[in-house]
Amino acid sequence: LCFDVLSREAARVLRSGGRILIADSPLYTDADAGDAMVREMGDYIAGLGVVPAAYEGPGYLTEAAIRSSPLDWSRSEADPQTVVGRWRGRLTARRAGRELARMPLLMATIGGAT
């Protein structure tokens, strides 16, 4: 589902104090990078001889989508643990020619602070 639809539906079906957690969803600041990732994954999967699954939404989240959500989202992100890890991430992004996804845990509490 598109993130705005998911946010509205969660607010509709959960009672006050209910929580929604999103895990394992790639997050980008730039939608073009997310679109490139979806194409790359589709090409990779097709190269294995498998038909890629269809997405009901874009297949990733953006910072803009989170900001425009009717819910107040909190996040927990793993920090690259070492200088080597941070450099490895920069090199991988350079090779990919695009921003790499972050994979935060996102949580919102319905009708209250997160």
For the stretch 65-99, pLDDT in tens is: 998 888 889 988 876 566 667 777 778 888 888 88
pTM: 0.76
Residue 35, classed as helix, strand or coil, is helix
Separation of alpha carbons 97 and 86, rounded Å:
17
Q: Could you tell me if residue 26 is left (phi over 0), alpha (psi between -120 and 50 degrees) or otherwise beta?
A: beta
